């Protein structure tokens, strides 16, 4: 009941601010300040739905909506536009976290067929061992992670494989420098040896401000990652530090999806909750 009420209130807010959003979008395009949006998915499946699952029909509908309105670009092209002082084109990139086997049933073949760039972040140990993710085990519904063969096949077909740590750990709770290095750099080395391709990007598990540290950012930078991704929701503006890519969870609830993608003025103007330093001048 509460979720329904919140959804209805958000729908009213979205419709009430739609004229303002359209006017602001035209101004941003004129001024070269169009945000670069990075979307995050986890699992596309019709069975065993949970908070990080989107149905196949809804996922395809979102992709079709995006393709009509945005340039869908790779993560490195998104970084290039973030680092530039001007962007006049609606831009979005697609990422996945964790690495669920069901994504290879329909979603990934469909994206590959349509030549939509994707960065696919996986936890290396789950790929190696085949063990389910701890958050699924806690819910009593252990789901199958991607196999090594699936990851290799995706990499061969042009999907950019990224690291999501070795064990899906909370970086905000790591106290040992050795453990921090192992989860960040160990995952990179493991995946590079498995797929025989460079691992250029890292996504923090959970991805909220409390799940990241300045030390982790620095180790990732020194290890040669091109960029790191958070997950607390945020827009990337032209001229920002492109090493830190802020991502939006692509909510299966259509009103919330539209609210984010048409640039919610409340979220555009809010302070960044986590900004450990400027890496822009260090590339």
Virtual torsion, Cα 66, 69, 73, 75, nearest 10 deg:
-60
Q: What is the mean pLDDT of residues 271-283?
A: 58
Residue spans of alpha helices (H) in the chain = 2-31, 56-69, 75-83, 107-113, 124-129, 134-138, 148-156, 177-181, 187-195, 214-222, 254-261, 265-269
Residues 6+ apart with CB under 8 A from 221: 243, 279, 282
- 8 Å CB contact between 221 and 201: no
Lowest-pLDDT range of 18-22, 81-85, 193-197, 272-276? 272-276
DSSP three-state, residue 276: coil
Domains of the chain and any CATH numbers? 2-271 (3.20.20.370)
Higher local confidence (pLDDT), 6 or 55: 55
How many percent of the chain have pLDDT more than 70?
Answer: 94
Residue-wise pLDDT for 97-114, tens only, equals 999 999 999 999 999 999
CA distance 3 to 242: 35
If 0-12 CB within 10 Å is exposed, 13-18 middle and 19+ buried, where does residue 47 land? exposed
Nearest to 8 by CA among 254, 233, 251, 260: 254
Q: How many CB atoms lie within 10 A of CB 126?
A: 23
Burial 96-117 (b: 16+ CB within 10 A, else e): bbbbbebbbeebbeebeeeebb
């Amino acid at each position: 009941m509460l979720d329904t009420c919140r959804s209805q209130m958000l729908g009213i807010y979205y419709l009430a601010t739609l004229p303002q959003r359209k006017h602001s979008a035209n101004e941003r395009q004129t001024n070269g300040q169009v945000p670069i949006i990075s979307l995050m998915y986890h699992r596309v499946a019709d069975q065993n739905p949970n908070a990080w699952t989107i149905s196949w029909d809804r996922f395809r509908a979102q992709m079709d909506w995006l393709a009509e309105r945005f340039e869908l670009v790779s993560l490195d092209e998104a970084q290039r536009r973030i680092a530039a002082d001007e962007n006049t084109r609606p831009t979005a990139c697609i990422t996945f976290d964790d690495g669920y086997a069901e994504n290879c049933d329909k979603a990934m073949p469909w994206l590959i067929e349509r030549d939509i760039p994707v960065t696919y972040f996986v936890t290396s140990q789950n790929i190696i061992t085949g063990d389910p993710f701890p958050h699924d085990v806690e819910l009593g519904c252990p789901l199958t992670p991607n196999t090594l063969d699936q990851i290799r096949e995706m990499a061969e077909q042009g999907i950019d494989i990224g690291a999501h740590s070795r064990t899906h750990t909370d970086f905000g709770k790591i106290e040992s420098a050795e453990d921090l290095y192992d989860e960040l750099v160990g995952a990179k080395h493991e995946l590079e040896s498995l797929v025989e391709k460079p691992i250029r990007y890292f996504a923090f598990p959970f991805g909220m401000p409390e799940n990241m540290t300045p030390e982790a950012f620095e180790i990732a930078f020194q290890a040669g990652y091109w960029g790191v991704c958070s997950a607390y929701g945020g827009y990337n503006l032209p001229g920002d530090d492109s090493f830190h890519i802020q991502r939006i969870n692509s909510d299966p609830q259509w009103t919330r999806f539209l609210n984010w993608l048409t640039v919610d003025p409340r979220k555009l103007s809010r302070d960044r909750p986590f900004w450990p330093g400027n890496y822009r001048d260090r590339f």
